[in-house]
Each structure stands twice: as structure tokens, then as C-alpha cells.
């Protein structure tokens, strides 16, 4: 057999024609073996980081984008094998005109198809303002320090935590991919935010009874593979990018990491694994900064006022 023919055959089943080359492992995979490998990797990450217990009620954070919809489909498939566990989906409507409506409809359609209870919560009902209103106000006040994503991230996390708690969920599963994780690691290093570096991990600690622990089953799945999974499985997701998606530092890091990965396959995994190797030291740092309660809203906070109340106060 010539080298060319050998190279086009799936390295896993050794029968079908390959359509995807995984540079960091050298595998060439057919569509079926590729999607099975993604599901196996997700199962392996869940087991390695002990993300779930058998009886957990899991709230999946579903934005309507490719990663969260793929995660919902994979967890729904796994849940059928674990009758004591249950899934619900939670979607946060930040209030981004012309963008969120389509995502909400797609999230709802996928939940109906998979017969998963779907809970929606909006910034407007929780905080009295949409993200559009918050951003417009910040611009009027000349606030330049914070990006739209900074407001959105803090307030969405809070919204997810409140909703997951309200529905009695034991865990919140988010679809952060390997790319998201590595960008966040470098962002925190570039900003010198060691505490956040220590707190962000595949399974968050049980830091406060009002905090629902967050798990990231896609933390070892590269973003392009999560997108390819959705494409192969013909999963319907929202393709359009968020109009605010412009966090400058994160975009620079994304471009830099993609360039590195192209020239040095496996770079993203190396960064991720390096942080996991020093995890015990990072856990010690996190332990020294326990959570208290926000004097304004009573939610868990790192200081007297939680970050969400701080942002909302600045914006009022």
C-alpha cells in the first residue's frame, strides 16, 4: 500500500476514509470515529476530574452557540445511561438586540428535541437592565476600563448561579473548550490576577453553600473539534458572532495561541496541563481567600460587595 493511500484511511477503524487530521496526536479519523472520539474524550474528562455524582441534577448552560448545543447533546446521550442523574438546560438572555433572539429560539428547539426542561432567565428581570442598556449607560458615563464582556461575564455567571440554585441543580455544566480555558489562563497571567488563575478550574470547589459548583466537560476539547462535532451531527446552532465580541486582550491571545498551535501542535494542551500540574499550589492560594456574603444582595462574594453589585452600582 502506498503511503498516500495509508494516510487517507481512518487510523481508528482502519476501514473508512479519513476526513480529519488531528495534528497533536497524528490521528486521521473518519466522521464516525471522530465523533465517537469526542464523546469518549468528554467521558474521560468527566471521570478524571470527577465532575458528576450518579444522582446529580445537572444544569447545562446553553447559549445556543455550537459548543453549548454540542455539550447538551453529548450529556443527554450520557444521561440515558445514568437513570439517577437528570439534566435541565438554563439559558441567560443578556438582552443583546438582534443577536440573542435567534440563539434563544435555537436553544429552545434543541431542548424540545431532546426533551430537556428549559429554563430561561434575563438580565432585565434579574437586574432591571439589559446588557445593551448597561453598555450604553457605561459609554455615556465615559467608562472605558470595562469591556461589554466584563459586564456580561460577571452578570451572566450570577444569573446562572441563581437559576441553577432555584431549580435545585447540584452542578452547572458549561461548554468552555480547551481554547477558552487556555485563553483564560493566559488572560489571568497577563493581568497578574493569580487568585482568578487559582479559582478557575475544570471543577470549581465547594466554596460557599449558595454557590452551585461549575464543571467544564469540554475543557480538553479544542474549539475547532467541538465545531466539527456539531457539523457532523447536523446540530443546529447559532453561527453569528455576538456584536460585542471584541475583548481586545482575549482576541490577541486567541490569535497568538492559534498561530502557536499551527506551528507547534499541542501547545494549548501543554499550557492547560502545566496549570493542572501546579494545581495543588494554586489550591493553596485559593484557600487563603475564602468567600463571604455580599452586604447588598447576600450572594457569595470575595469582599463586602460582590462584583455584580459593584458593577451595577457603578452603572446606576
The residue among 70 and 238 lying less far from ligand SF4, judged by its C-beta, is 238
Closest approach of ligand SF4 to the CB of residue 244, in Å: 4
Instruction: Note the Cα 208 to chain centre separation in Å.
Output: 21
Q: Return the range that interacts with ligand SF4 (CB under 6 A); candidates 74-82, 107-115, 146-154, 194-202.
A: 146-154
In angstroms, the CA 242 to CA 251 distance is: 13
The residue range among 4-12, 39-47, 149-157, 267-275 that interacts with ligand SF4, by the rule CB under 6 A, is 149-157
Q: Does 297 bind ligand SF4 (CB under 6 A)?
A: no
Smallest distance from Zn ion to CB 313, Å: 9
Nearer to Zn ion, 78 or 309 (CB): 309
3-state secondary structure labels for all residues of the chain: CCHHHHHCECCCCCCCECCEEECCCCEEECHHHHHHHHHHHHHHHHHHCCCCCCCCEEEEECCCCHHHHHHHHHHHHHHCCCCCCEEEEEEEECCCCCCHHHHHHHHHHHHHHHCCEEEEEEHHHHHCCCHHHHHHHHHHCCCCCCCHHHHHHHHHHHHHHHHHHHCCCCEEECCCCHHHHHHHHHHHHHHCCHHHHHHCCCECCCCCCCCCEEECCCCCCCHHHHHHHHHHCCCCCCCCCCCCCCCHHHHHHHHHHHHHHHHCCCHHHHHHHHHHHCHHHHHHHHHCCCCEECCCCCCEECCCCCHHHHHHHHHC
Q: Which of 152, 175, 182, 257 binds ligand SF4 (CB under 6 A)?
A: 152
Is residue 297 near Zn ion by the rule CB under 5 A?
Answer: yes
Rounded Cα gap, residues 72 and 62, in angstroms: 7
Q: Which of 148, 174, 238, 267 binds ligand SF4 (CB under 6 A)?
A: 148
Strand 27-29 to strand 57-61: parallel, antiparallel, or no bridges (unpaired)? unpaired
Closest to ligand SF4 by CB, 10 or 185: 185
- Using CB under 5 A, pick the residue from 85, 309, 311, 312 that binds Zn ion: 309
Q: Is 311 in the site for Zn ion (CB under 5 A)?
A: no
Q: Contacts with Zn ion in 22-61 (CB under 5 A)? A: none
Closer to ligand SF4 by Cβ: residue 149 or 305: 149
Of 19 and 244, CB closest to ligand SF4: 244
For the CB of residue 1, give the shortest distance to ligand SF4 in the complex, in Å: 48
Residue 244 site contact among Zn ion, ligand SF4, none (CB < 5 to 8 Å, cut-off depends on kind)? ligand SF4
| Size of site (CB under 5 A) for Zn ion | 5
In the range 228-247, which residues lie near ligand SF4 by CB under 6 A? 242, 244-245
Query: Closest by alpha carbon to 261, among 77, 38, 23?
Result: 23
State the minimum distance, in angstroms, from the CB of residue 71 to ligand SF4.
16
Is 149 among the residues that bind ligand SF4 (CB under 6 A)? yes
The partner in contact with residue 19, picked from ligand SF4, Zn ion, none with C-beta cut-offs of 5 to 8 angstroms by kind, is: none
- Residues of this chain that interact with ligand SF4 (CB under 6 A) are 94, 148-149, 152-153, 242, 244-245
Amino acid at each position: 500500500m502506498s503511503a498516500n493511500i495509508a494516510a487517507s484511511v481512518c487510523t481508528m477503524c482502519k476501514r473508512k476514509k479519513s476526513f480529519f487530521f488531528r495534528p497533536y496526536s497524528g490521528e486521521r479519523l473518519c466522521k464516525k470515529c471522530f465523533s465517537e472520539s469526542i464523546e469518549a474524550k468528554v467521558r474521560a474528562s468527566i471521570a478524571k476530574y470527577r465532575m458528576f455524582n450518579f444522582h446529580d441534577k445537572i444544569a447545562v448552560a446553553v447559549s445556543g452557540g455550537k459548543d453549548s448545543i454540542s455539550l447538551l447533546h453529548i450529556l443527554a446521550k450520557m444521561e440515558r445511561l445514568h437513570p439517577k442523574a437528570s439534566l435541565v438546560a438554563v439559558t441567560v438572555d443578556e438582552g443583546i438586540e438582534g443577536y440573542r433572539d435567534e440563539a434563544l429560539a435555537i436553544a429552545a428547539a434543541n431542548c424540545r428535541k431532546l426533551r430537556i426542561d428549559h429554563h430561561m432567565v434575563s438580565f432585565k428581570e434579574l437586574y432591571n437592565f439589559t446588557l445593551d442598556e448597561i453598555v450604553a449607560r457605561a459609554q455615556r458615563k465615559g467608562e472605558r476600563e470595562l469591556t461589554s464582556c466584563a459586564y456580561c461575564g460577571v452578570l451572566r455567571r450570577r444569573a446562572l448561579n441563581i437559576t441553577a440554585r432555584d431549580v435545585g441543580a447540584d452542578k452547572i455544566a458549561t461548554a468552555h473548550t480547551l481554547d477558552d480555558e487556555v485563553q483564560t489562563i493566559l488572560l489571568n497571567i497577563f493581568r497578574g490576577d493569580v487568585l482568578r488563575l487559582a479559582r478557575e478550574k475544570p471543577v470549581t470547589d465547594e466554596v460557599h453553600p449558595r454557590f452551585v459548583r461549575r464543571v467544564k466537560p469540554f475543557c480538553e476539547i479544542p474549539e475547532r473539534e467541538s465545531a466539527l462535532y456539531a457539523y457532523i451531527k447536523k446540530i443546529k446552532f447559532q453561527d453569528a458572532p455576538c456584536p460585542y465580541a471584541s475583548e481586545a486582550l482575549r482576541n490577541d491571545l486567541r490569535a497568538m495561541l492559534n498561530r502557536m498551535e499551527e506551528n507547534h501542535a499541542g501547545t494549548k494542551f501543554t499550557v492547560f496541563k502545566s496549570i493542572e500540574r501546579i494545581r495543588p499550589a494554586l489550591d493553596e492560594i485559593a484557600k487563603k481567600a475564602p468567600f463571604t456574603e455580599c452586604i447588598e444582595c447576600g450572594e457569595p462574594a470575595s469582599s463586602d460587595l460582590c462584583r455584580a453589585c459593584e458593577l451595577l452600582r457603578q452603572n446606576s
